[in-house]
Structure 1
Amino acid sequence: MAISDNAEIIDSALDRIMAGYVFPRRAAEVDRALRARLAAGEYDALSGPALCAAVTAHLQEVCPDRHLRLLWQDEPRPLTALADDGAGREAFLALMRAENHGIRRTEQLDGNIGCLDVRWMADAGEGAHAIGAAMELVARTRALLLDLRKCRGGSPAGAAMWCSYFFPDGEVHLNDIYERSTDSIRQYWTLPHLPAPRYLDRPVYVLTSATTFSGGEDLAYTLQAHGRAEVVGETTRGGAHPTLRHPVTEHITVTVPAARTVNAVTGTNWEGVGVQPDRAVAAEKALETAHGEARERLG
């Protein structure tokens, strides 16, 4: 049966949050707060994008988790397709294929400094050859600028694959992800075998902005925590929890963080605080700043 009114929409979204949010106590706090607002009639006059924006603001007011959201999409999507777990993965893979597995640009800058503009953390399986091809193109540069200023997220395994290129072997413990649904921890280590040469013993700079999010933050935070890269730019958005999407209506989806990342060095993550740059500059100045530092450092 189609969900038609706001009470049903919010009730369905809260049920998903209560069942799946990685912090059950915070889920209960969210549930109480939003049901009180619903009972007070705060959502009665809202619909569509305005309802989603208001609910998202109230969710994050109680629990400042950037992945906890009610999303509106203009084009309707069948609930049966949305509810299929495999459909979500196929949609992600289709997006990655259309987006060249997240690699927007590869460039050789003055001074033989490499630059990779990466917009998504691709799937570690399908995206492996594209990531390898990009790393092959910069393999002989003297330093690398990894531009994540417009990176919006993606696969944790893809982030681990990117990280692997900057370490000598498969013996570096990067981070763990705890999943509530299975009460289990999945460890992420550098990969022992890669389709392109590793990028070792040379400076790496990661460029960030206030737009950098989720999987992009994972890569920046992990390389910084392990002392393998310097972060230049702005503090990132601060979304560290792997997230599932659940359909509420044909136009509305609730995103529920179902896991949490724990970095192997820091014992924590970037949730709510973002990745803090080593060199804080405006995002539009990050490339120029890092390029200049790399050239000066190398002489």
Structure 2
Amino acid sequence: MPIPSLSETDLEAYRNDLSNPEKSTGELFITLTGLYQRFAGNEQLLANFEYAAELQSLENSYASKKDQYNKEITELKRQFKQLDNRIVAAEQKLRHGIPDDLMVMDKIIAEQESIVEDQEKLNHAESSVVEQVRKIDIAHGKDLQKLEQQQNNRNTPLNSKFSAFTEQLKQAEKRITLKASAIAIIAIIGIPLILDLGLVSLGLPALSKNTNNLIFTHYIFLIALILVELFLAEKIRSRISGMLSISYLKDSLATLQNLLTENKKQIFKVESEHKISLSEFVKQNYTA
């Protein structure tokens, strides 16, 4: 099953959402959190792609070396067979006894010495090839172990990284909500206060003359405060929250855009270095 991933289209759609006055701050934060979670899929796919590409390169290199040594072993077997034929031929010459002709005997002795010398060379060559094969087997095993450790090292910080991103968004939303609430309180109180002071300065009489009761003296403020709370408070909070949030959300979107761009660059680098395409990798590993 394919890993849900982020695309440029998703980012463009979110930019449009930021310009949409009908989108609430809560919706925008939820959507951005979802985009970061989807981008975690891009990073996981990249990590898997890097691992698979490096593994394929290791296996190809190992297979190439093994193939070369297998050819050498095949050649040594051919030479050993030729040597066996020479040994058989030399034994056949002595089957009917030691020849009287000294020249013939010298040739047989020289051939036997040559056989022994060639056999030692072949044995040494065989031991050398076997040792080289042993070394590349050990090196390949270490390379695989190192690659596996690198993959584990990728996945662990990757999970922590996006958990941190999600937590940052949650904390930012809380901070902005608290700040917006504080500013909204000032606005909600300020509007009735300004109205009250304005009307009083225009000479609007109090409900009861010669009284020190604040309720009767500033009834305009109280009425205006109630009306603002009933009809405007939520809009004020929403507007202030939106103004404070948009800047943060735009910055977070820019960060996400940079991360996506870097992700694409890394994918291109892996494709170039290892001669393997991401689309082919996805086709082989993420399609039913």
The interval holding the TM-score normalised by the smaller chain is under 0.3
The answer to which structure has the higher strand fraction is 1
Greater relative contact order (CA < 8 Å, ≥ 6 in sequence): 2
The answer to which structure has the higher helix fraction is 2
Greater Rg over alpha carbons, structure: 2
Q: Structure 1 length as normaliser, TM-score?
A: 0.21
Q: Structure 2 length as normaliser, TM-score?
A: 0.21
